[in-house]
Amino acid sequence: MNKKIKKWKEKFFKQLKKIKTEHLVKQFIKNNILFLTFLFTCVLNAILLRFFTMPTLENYLSFKPILADFGVVLLFGSFSFLFKNKNRFTYLLIVEIIFTLICVINSIYYTFYTSFASASMLSLAQFIAPVGDAVVENVLQLKDLVYIIGLIIFIAVHIHVKKKHYDRKEDTKLEKRKKTIKGIAVSAIVFTIFTISLTSLEMGRFVKQWNREYIVMRFGIYLYQLNDVFVSLQPKINSIFGYDQAKKNFEEYFSEKENHEENEYTNIFEGKNVIVIHGESIQDIAINRTFNGEEVTPTLNRLIREGLFFSNFYSEVSVGTSSDTELTFNTSLMPTKSGTAFVSYFDRTYNSTPKYFKEKGYYTFSMHANNADFWNRRAMHKSLGYDKFYSKETYDVDSENIIGLGLSDKSFFAQSVEKIKKIKEKEGTPFYGLLISLTNHTPFSDVEKYDPFDVDIKETVTHDDGTTETISHPYMEGTKLGNYFKSVHYADAALGEFLSALDEAGLLENTVFILYGDHDARLPKNDYIRLNNYDTATDDIKDEEDPTYQEYNSYHYELDRKVPLIIWTKDHQVQGVVENTMGMIDAMPTIGNMFGFENPYALGHDIFSIKDQNVVVFPNGNWITNKVYYNSQKGEYMSLKDEEVISKDYIEKNNQYAEKLLDVSNDMIVFDLLNQEKDKKEAK
């Protein structure tokens, strides 16, 4: 009997304990429903951001970033317990809004830059307004707004809680402190577990933060953003503490660099005038392409046939886009890790192409019919050594000659010819001039203002009665890539008119004409798939099971971001196609060799000296050679030569090279290391 009573008591108390536990859990949820909603919505947004931006199986299965995001959200949320009930919602709402904005901004930013936003970009906010239409029309998507749903849910739960009076009882100060400490303690445990799971490679990349995709994939968006704030402030901290190490690394790097060797192109252009075209968003995908027998870029195609064309040339831009290209082209330095050199480091000393030409007695100038302060060009062009910057205020701009962001290329080039005539007459010396085009800028929406150009497929059909009919298939009509082709066709026509006007004015005599594309147009991958796999029968993309379907993955997309580099003279002094892989950082050494000057602190190489051994490094740590395109955040590569066996040593060697190059380049700019070298030179 006693055994039965004892057994019954144990069962009763066990059930009672269970009921008590369930009651406590329900009570905890009831009393903290707002806090739990805050945790859930913020972490969910972070998960969605990774899914939408980096849709890979590895990312879907990764638990590390979820752990990191949860730890950050819990840490910030824990401080809400210190507030009175009526103020707790306000605090959590502010934090929720901040976390929501982080997701929205990064979602939009990733669509355009294939990277994540940096706090250093706050200093560049002034440059967003002029391209606002481009962002809304070409970048903003429905997925970028899905994160707001979490904010709406949070507010809705607050209204529900307020109606039910769940938080009517006010905790004592001691209870508030205890809850806060418990929250911070749990957050600390989460971070401890997370830290233990990290590898040394992951920690190293987190500290350097030059591969943002990799960091977000492994550390989550919130921890990335917190670390980014610190990294953005690092230049100011380093300017006090990091100079000696930066200087040591700089000296070691260049002490090991091989001396430049002369080749068949050395000094071939010495003393000639130079006109450089900075071609806005021109990329190789448009070159030698036709629609219904009509060329998209007849002018560029002619220059390629008659001049020297670098067919595997890549832009190496970061957040500074066009300004990054100007920096890299003119100095053979990479974009900075934080912010952009044109805005954050315009007051540094640079060894630049315009300065070397000035040493040779040239008059140097730049022309761009946009606001002189856009990308801080007014200040930076002085630092680069241009004698004069002809900006928007020196051009006649009215509503009749505006396309897209400003003055049309045709009007810009026509007015620029008159300015170059006066420069030649006044200065009486050789000149070096940079002209920055504008019309071919995203969003490529002023279709009605471009020259007529169809991007459809016209097909002639013969009927049974012998009559013929022309049928038009839409093909690329109505797509962003299709509109881009129309825009490039207009820009190419403007370039053709410019060359004709220069020739008529005698300005092509004894002149070298150089054109480069500043960066790719950041167009949708699906448009490229349509371009390669369009089916006229269905007016749609072919099925992947179709034997004629051409695979198009992220690596093909990266390879298609190539831009042109063309060097041309009227007398066809140089001709041919250079197929060796080359980056914007290699432009200065290559061109300098042709004109008889050398920058001893160039990080790039003369392509005619290094040839097939060149490694092109991108700001995110990816790199490409003649053999391989390597994706650093995935740790994988695509072989560009099927018969080539790629060794681990080859990958590791180039990874180390890429990392060292990015570090040294950044230090040279941040610590103004060339200024000290300049002082040494002048003291001798």
Question: What is the SS3 assignment for 468?
Answer: strand
Nearest to 449 by CA among 395, 406, 496: 406
Contacts for 578-581: CB closer than 8 Å, 24+ residues apart: 578/308, 578/309, 578/310, 578/311, 578/607, 578/608, 579/311, 579/312, 580/312, 580/607, 580/610, 580/611, 580/612, 580/614, 580/626, 581/312, 581/314, 581/614, 581/616, 581/624, 581/625, 581/626
Beta carbons of 522 and 317 less than 8 angstroms apart = no
Q: Which amino acid belongs to residue 518?
A: D
Q: If you search the block for the tokens 């005599």, which residue do you land on?
A: 509
Render 121-179 in DSSP notation, one character per residue.
Answer: GGGGGGGTGGGHHHHHHHT--GGGGTTHHHHHHHHHHHHHHHHHTTT-SPPPHHHHHHH
Q: What is the pLDDT of residues 146-204, one digit of tens each?
A: 999 999 999 999 888 877 655 557 778 888 899 899 999 999 999 999 999 888 878 87
Instruction: Give the model's confidence band at 356: pLDDT under 50 very low, under 70 low, under 90 confident, else very high.
Output: very high
Across the range 454-467, mean pLDDT stands at 88
Q: How far apart are CA 108 and CA 209, in angstroms?
A: 20
Give residue 92's pLDDT.
94
Q: What's the token pair of residue 435? A: 């002209």
Give residue 521's pLDDT.
93
pLDDT at 583 over 50: yes
Q: What is the pLDDT of residues 390-412, one digit of tens each?
A: 999 999 999 889 998 899 999 99
Is the pLDDT higher at 419 or at 238? 419
220 conformational bin, left if phi > 0, alpha if psi -120 to 50, beta if neither: left
| Domain spanning 261-605, CATH class | alpha beta
Render 497-539 in DSSP notation, one character per residue.
Answer: HHHHHHHHTTTTTTEEEEEEE-S-----HHHHHHHHSEETTTT
Task: Please report the sign of the dihedral spanned by the C-alpha atoms of residue 207, residue 115, residue 102, residue 405.
Answer: positive
Give residue 138's pLDDT.
47
Q: How far is CA 381 from CA 341, 434, 441, 467, 590, in A?
A: 12, 11, 21, 63, 22
Give residue 435's pLDDT.
98
Beta carbons of 206 and 54 less than 8 angstroms apart = no
196, exposed or middle or buried, with CB in 10 Å at 0-12, 13-18, 19+? Answer: exposed
Across the range 504-520, mean pLDDT stands at 97
Q: What's the token pair of residue 240? A: 């006090």
pLDDT at 581 over 70: yes
Q: Are strands 628-631 and 623-624 parallel, antiparallel or unpaired?
A: antiparallel
Q: What's the token pair of residue 187? A: 């957050």
Give residue 677's pLDDT.
66
| Phi, psi dihedral angles at 309 (to 5 degrees) | -115, 125
Q: Which amino acid belongs to residue 376?
A: N
Q: How far apart are CA 629 and CA 636, in angstroms?
A: 9
122, exposed or middle or buried, with CB in 10 Å at 0-12, 13-18, 19+? Answer: exposed
Instruction: Give the model's confidence band at 16: pLDDT under 50 very low, under 70 low, under 90 confident, else very high.
Output: very low
Q: Using the 8-state DSSP alphabet, how is residue 319 labeled?
A: T
Instruction: Give the model's confidence band at 284: pLDDT under 50 very low, under 70 low, under 90 confident, else very high.
Output: very high
Give residue 5's pLDDT.
58
Range of lowest pLDDT (431-445, 606-620, 637-651): 637-651
Q: Where are the domains of the chain?
A: 1-26, 32-241, 261-605
Q: What's the token pair of residue 528? A: 């490229």
Q: Hey, which of 10-14, 197-201, 486-490 has the most confident mean pLDDT?
A: 486-490
Predicted TM-score of the model (pTM): 0.84
Q: How far apart are CA 251 and CA 506, in angstroms?
A: 46
Across the range 81-101, mean pLDDT stands at 91
Q: What is the pLDDT of residues 127-160, one digit of tens each?
A: 554 544 444 454 557 788 899 999 999 999 988 8
Is the pLDDT higher at 662 or at 261? 662
Q: What's the token pair of residue 482? A: 């299709």
Q: What is the pLDDT of residues 596-642, one digit of tens each?
A: 999 999 999 999 999 999 999 999 899 999 999 999 878 899 999 87
Across the range 537-555, mean pLDDT stands at 94
For residue 634, the cross-strand partners are none
Instruction: Give the model's confidence band at 19: pLDDT under 50 very low, under 70 low, under 90 confident, else very high.
Output: very low
Across the range 370-399, mean pLDDT stands at 94
Q: How far apart are CA 207 and CA 234, in angstroms?
A: 11
Q: What is the mean pLDDT of the chain?
A: 88
Contacts for 380-385: CB closer than 8 Å, 24+ residues apart: 380/323, 380/326, 380/341, 380/342, 380/346, 383/346, 383/347, 383/348, 383/349, 383/350, 383/352, 384/326, 384/330, 384/331, 384/350, 384/352, 384/353, 384/354, 384/355, 385/350, 385/352, 385/354, 385/355, 385/358
pLDDT at 18 over 60: no
Across the range 422-441, mean pLDDT stands at 95
Nearest to 619 by CA among 260, 338, 238: 338
Q: If you search the block for the tokens 């006010």, which residue do you land on?
A: 170
Size (the chain), residues: 684
| Phi, psi dihedral angles at 460 (to 5 degrees) | -90, 125
pLDDT at 28 over 90: no
Q: How far apart are CA 326 and CA 317, in angstroms?
A: 10
Task: Determine what percent of the chain is predicted with pLDDT higher than 70.
Answer: 88
Question: How many C-beta atoms lie closer than 10 Å to residue 130's C-beta?
Answer: 14
Is the pLDDT higher at 308 or at 85? 308
Give residue 410's pLDDT.
97
Give how far the C-alpha of residue 124 lies from the chain's centroid of Cα atoms, to the nearest Å. Answer: 14
Q: What's the token pair of residue 143? A: 């997925």
Nearest to 273 by CA among 357, 351, 391: 357
Beta carbons of 620 and 115 less than 8 angstroms apart = yes
Across the range 238-263, mean pLDDT stands at 84
Give residue 14's pLDDT.
56
Give residue 132's pLDDT.
47
Give residue 167's pLDDT.
53
pLDDT at 13 over 70: no
Task: Determine what percent of the chain is predicted with pLDDT higher than 90.
Answer: 66
| Phi, psi dihedral angles at 515 (to 5 degrees) | -130, 135
176 conformational bin, left if phi > 0, alpha if psi -120 to 50, beta if neither: alpha
421, exposed or middle or buried, with CB in 10 Å at 0-12, 13-18, 19+? Answer: middle
Q: How far apart are CA 16 and CA 50, in angstroms?
A: 44
Across the range 309-331, mean pLDDT stands at 95
